[in-house]
Amino acid sequence: MTLPSSVTSIGISAFENSNKLSRIDLPSSITEIGEAAFVSCALTDVEIPQDVTILNKRVFVDNSALERVVLPNGLTKISESAFTACHSLKTIEIPNSVEQIERCAFTQCRSLEKFSGAFATEDGRALIMGDKLVAFAPSGITSYEIPRNVKIIGDTAFGSCTELESITIPEGVTDIEQLAFSDCKKLESITIPSSVKTMGNNCCRTYGSSLVVYCKPTTPPTALLVSQKYWGAFAANKITIYVPTESVEVYKAAEHWSSFKDNIVGYDF
């Protein structure tokens, strides 16, 4: 499909579920692309017009054939779930103009190998905005060491990295946000550094066969809830949570940690 130059905006869900639409030529006249505009299409190659400054929520969700995206230099925001489940996307360059990348922007992009441009790490595997890791490129990776300048592991940053078997979280990380390691089914062990102060709900719900957590803080990290009453930080068929021996009873009595009191065991770190 080729849109005429008289078109200046594309409405909400305009082409949603157009599952045979594999190519669309967007004229330079377009300044706005609405939320969920291209959900579940068959697009393979997209160039966003230069005057588009915001990629709205869910705009390209479930374009499983999408291999190439060109983002404009004036883009300032990549909204929630903009590229979720774009399974064929291998690389993407973030323009220097981008100021905000929201949760789940690149979640379930299982073929994603490399970020480049603004906020990309030297190895291209992560996007770090300030001191917060906001996205990860998981393709071909079974183990990863989070860079030492990271203080916050963002909401869904490693969500659905189904091949990840090992993660190293450095001392200095203070916050692990909700769903940070959700659905990492092969991640059977995780060490929480002593520097961690807060942990979001569902942050380590791996849903794998087993999960061993080595939680080093002597004071239980504060359990942060966003949209539900149940913290539910950990989930697997079998869970063991090792905490400092002197802090076992403190953990078992702590709000929300008490839900896992039968899984908490003392350990001399």
* Tokens representing residue 207 in the block: 């849903």
Residue 51 CA to its chain's centroid (Å): 27
pLDDT of residue 154: 97
pLDDT for position 229: 76
For 117, the token pair is 């441009």
Length of the chain: 269
Question: What tokens appear for 74 in the block?
Answer: 């004036």
Per-residue pLDDT of the chain (269 residues; tens, 9 = 90+): 999 999 999 999 999 999 999 999 999 999 999 999 999 999 999 999 999 999 999 999 999 999 999 999 999 999 999 999 999 999 999 999 999 999 999 999 999 999 999 999 999 999 999 999 999 999 999 999 999 999 999 999 999 999 999 999 999 999 999 999 999 999 999 999 999 999 999 999 999 999 999 999 999 999 999 776 789 899 999 999 999 999 999 999 999 999 999 999 999 99
Residues 218 and 83: their CA atoms lie apart, in Å, by 39
DSSP 2-45: B--TT--EE-TTTTTT-TT----B--TT--EE-TTTTTT----E
Shared fold status for 8-122 and 141-269:
yes
pLDDT for 82: 98
Round to whole Å and give the CA distance between 108 and 160. Answer: 6
**248-257: Cβ within 8 A, 24+ apart:** 250/219, 250/220, 251/215, 251/220, 254/220, 254/223, 255/223, 256/223, 256/225, 256/231, 257/220, 257/223
CATH architecture of the domain 141-269 equals Alpha-Beta Horseshoe (3.80)
Reported as type and span, the H/E element at residue 257 is none
- The CATH fold assigned to 8-122 is 3.80.10
User: What token pair was written down for 103?
Assistant: 């949760």
Give the residue extent of every domain in the chain.
8-122, 141-269
